[in-house]
Amino acid sequence: MVQPASIRALKAIVILLSAIIVVGLGVLAYGTVQLVRNRAADSRPAEPAASAVEPFNIRLPAGARVLEMDLDGDRLAVRLDLGGGRESIQIYDVRTGMTVGVVTP
């Protein structure tokens, strides 16, 4: 049985669109698997610190008084009252005990 050209073209289009749908579903499945794997990798607990921080002494300017301290990661910021209405912020690396910076407003 010979089919008209329009019927053959219509069958070809249906087959092509079916193939596109199958490929699209495969891409969606692959993306979902990758997303689940990445979320599983991100949800692992963080590694504990490699070593404890050693105690260190801070040398303050003469007559200085500590007003407040703040720790952020391995940086310690110490706000000082230097007397006479002057203040300073000293920033230390808690791993080494070294002064990283001094801010004088």
Q: How far apart are the first and last CA of the chain?
A: 94
pLDDT tens-digit profile, the chain (105 residues): 567 888 999 999 999 999 999 999 999 999 999 999 888 777 666 666 556 667 878 888 888 999 999 998 889 999 999 988 899 999 999 888 888 999 887
Model pLDDT, residue 58:
83
- Cβ atoms of 80 and 60 closer than 8 Å: yes
Model pLDDT, residue 78:
94
Closest alpha carbon to 96 in 51, 29, 64: 51
For the record, the structure tokens of 105 come out as 């407003």
